[in-house]
Amino acid sequence: MLILSLALVSLSQLYLAGMWTTQKARYLSIATKRAQAEMERVQDLGVLTLLNGPTEESYPSSTYTYHGDSRGVDFTEENLPEGAGSVTWTPHPPGGAAGSEYMLKVDVILTWQGAARSRTQVEVTTLLTNRK
């Protein structure tokens, strides 16, 4: 009886760990797909549109809120627990070097509530140049 109960406790812990790992992988997949989708949106908009700041046309959904400096947007991700993200763009290289007005560093960051009340994060970064 003792051996059977120890085996069942061990198996139940293994099952719970497997479920937790599966959930973590699912959230990571959702976050990665959303970050890639946001990066594709930025690439489709192009440098010149971004330099003029986000508009209702470039980010039409009501889930986006605009940064006050016209250099990014914040959004929520309903499929993640307390999921929130941001898309920001800044001239690259920093400091206004020649040609930096046509190259932007774009960051997409998504965070959500992970295990043990810790925040988990996915970040995607790229350089975007003007298509002339």
> pLDDT tens, 3-13?
988 888 888 88
Q: What DSSP element (H or E) covers 51?
A: helix 47-51
Any idea where the domains of the chain sit in the sequence?
A: 2-129
User: Tens digit of pLDDT for each residue in 56-108?
Assistant: 777 777 778 888 777 889 999 999 999 999 999 988 877 665 555 678 899 99
**In which band, very low, low, confident or very high, does the pLDDT at 129 lie, cut at 50, 70 and 90?**
confident
Residue 75 confidence (pLDDT): 93
pLDDT at 31 exceeding the cut of 90: yes
Q: What's the confidence (pLDDT) of residue 100?
A: 53
Does residue 14 carry a pLDDT above 70?
yes
B/e letters for 10-19, b = 16+ CB within 10 Å, e = fewer, are eeeeeeeeee
* % of the chain with per-residue pLDDT over 90: 37
HSE (side-chain half, CA atoms, 13 Å) at 110: 26
pLDDT band at 28 (very low <50, low <70, confident <90, very high): very high
Regarding predicted confidence, which is higher, 65 or 112?
112
